[in-house]
Amino acid sequence: MFVVESYSLAIFFCIVTMLCWGSWANTQKLVRNSWRFELFYWDYVAGIFLFSLLGALTLGSNGEAGRPFLDDLSQADAANVHSAFTGGVVFNLANILLTAAIASAGMAVAFPIGIGLALVIGVVINYTLLNKGNPVLLFSGVGLVTLAILLNALAYSYLQQGGEKRSVGKWVGVSVLAGVLMSTFYPFVAAGMDLENFISPTAGKMTPYTAFVVFASGILVSNLLFNSYLMRKPLEGSPIAYRQYFGGSLKIHLVGILGGCIWGLGNLFNLIAAGKAGPAISYGLGQGATLVAALWGVLIWKEFKGGGRRINALILLMFLAFLTGLGLIILAGE
């Protein structure tokens, strides 16, 4: 299988993760006027699962390092498989809440609050799991990311006061809940892998490719429960029948699958990079997706349009704090 063996390549993979995780939600934004997020989410989850299989059967099955996907899956201990599967269930609950918040409050609000919070808590958890990286630089970077989250929240509160009155209080709460849950999924996946040695992993542990497939299976199976419940008891709007999903066009279904594949590419690269960069740095940089999503929301979707000079200054400071914080996280691993 393909293995990352240099720190610089691991950082590049984490940057790709950041771009993918911060951009997939654009696919949901593209169809939001004609397709409820609950319907979009079925295709999104299918895209993640299909991409995990593609990665496992290609990069995860060719080469001399590690174990081929099918061989690795057959020898994995039940406890490690269960751990990665549980990670998928936890992630899915967090992500479906985040997607709902994106649909209603926008990328520039939901991502900085939800994913930014996940970054802060998640880095602490993952650093405890494997003490890899300079703690002073790592947690200084996390502190600046926290500042960026607060600046974003302040800018949005001013936007509300300035006349852009939208009922987003509930969605801020949903984003916070999504962020707390999102911060806890990664250790479940990491625990199922041998992070110290992807080339010759310990017997019973999984390679990142196998762990991703098991993780994606957890997402797929749990979605039958979570999304079915939300269709009957939506956070906003009227209940949805399953027949509405099958009434969608091929184009609209492909948009959702594309969104899942984009996220899946980011996740695969993140897991591959974790062996060299360490889970705290790999996860922390990946969740820098907050910055990417905020850029999409501000520059492309104009979610802070008409905010005025004060709000624009806060948004600029937010981006500067994020960039500096992410830079410190990168330096922490060198």
**Per-residue pLDDT tens listing for the chain (334 residues):** 899 989 999 999 999 999 999 899 899 989 988 999 999 999 999 999 999 999 999 999 998 888 999 999 999 999 999 999 999 999 999 999 988 888 777 776 777 788 778 888 888 887 887 777 789 998 998 899 888 878 877 887 776 665 544 556 678 888 889 999 998 998 999 999 988 888 888 999 999 999 999 999 999 999 999 999 999 999 888 999 999 999 999 999 999 999 999 999 999 999 999 888 888 788 888 877 877 887 888 887 877 777 788 888 988 898 899 889 888 988 887 6
CA 170 to chain centre: 21
Handedness of CA 237, 289, 270, 61 (dihedral sign): positive
In a domain, 2, yes or no: no
Spatial contact of 67 and 201, defined as CB atoms under 8 Å apart: yes
| Per-residue tokens: 122 | 């998640």
CB atoms within 10 A of CB 61: 19
Q: How far apart are CA 116 and CA 175, in angstroms?
A: 10
In a domain, 35, yes or no: yes
**What pairs with residue 193 in β-bridges?**
206
Per-residue confidence (pLDDT) for residue 334, from 0 to 100: 61
User: Please, what's the b/e burial string for 179-204 (b: 16 or more CB within 10 A of its CB; e: otherwise)?
Assistant: bebbbbbbbbbbbbbbbeebeebeee
In a domain, 189, yes or no: yes
In a domain, 191, yes or no: yes
CB atoms within 10 A of CB 217: 18
In a domain, 1, yes or no: no
Q: How many domains does the chain fold into?
A: 1
Handedness of CA 26, 227, 95, 99 (dihedral sign): positive
* Closest C-alpha among 242, 98, 262 to residue 174: 98
Per-residue confidence (pLDDT) for residue 104, from 0 to 100: 79
In a domain, 252, yes or no: yes
**What pairs with residue 319 in β-bridges?**
none
Per-residue confidence (pLDDT) for residue 155, from 0 to 100: 80
**Domain encompassing residue 241:** 7-332
Spatial contact of 35 and 29, defined as CB atoms under 8 Å apart: no
